[in-house]
Amino acid sequence: MRITTASVFVDDQEKALTFYTSVLGFLPRTDIPSGEYRWLTVVSPEAPDAVELLLEPASHPAVKPFTSALVADGIPFTSFGVADVRAEYERLLGLGVRFTQEPQTNGPLTTAILDDTCGNLIQIASLQPA
């Protein structure tokens, strides 16, 4: 068994696709109509055959209270690995991304938290070898 797809709930699939590709740098992978929504996934350009990120519509009634509570408490919905959090933070700031947490280092782990503009906080993280 292996992980093939992970999901992030988004309030607007088209807006999410633009943000996740044009800003974060993911590549579009799958775009299949599915009723009023789409099975819409992106992948990392560094691992295009690895786990797909499903930009899942936030249409279920439980999603809004769940994601709103996470955002209100400053809790990221998921985390993406980057080689250098500080460099990625500067790159994304230059593209107008809003961060709710600037880079912080705790031992070998550095993290920052950004707003994906689609209803989520997303953590970026890098782990330096001990």
What are the structural domains, with CATH classification, of the chain? 1-59 (3.10.180.10), 68-130 (3.10.180.10)
Closest to 55 in 3D by CA, of 76, 72, 30: 30
pLDDT tens figures, 83-114: 999 999 999 999 999 999 999 999 999 999 99
**pLDDT digits (tens), the chain, 130 positions:** 999 999 999 999 999 999 999 999 999 999 999 999 999 999 999 999 999 999 999 999 999 999 999 999 999 999 999 999 999 999 999 999 999 999 999 999 999 999 999 999 999 999 987 6
What is the rounded distance in angstroms from the CA atom of residue 128 to the CA atom of residue 83? 9
What is the rounded distance in angstroms from the CA atom of residue 13 to the CA atom of residue 124? 21
Q: Provide the strand spans (E) within the chain.
A: 5-10, 27-34, 37-43, 52-57, 78-81, 99-106, 109-115, 121-127
pLDDT value for 129:
79
Helix (H) or strand (E) holding 114: strand 109-115
Q: At residue 105, what is the residue type?
A: T
Q: What is the pTM of this model?
A: 0.94
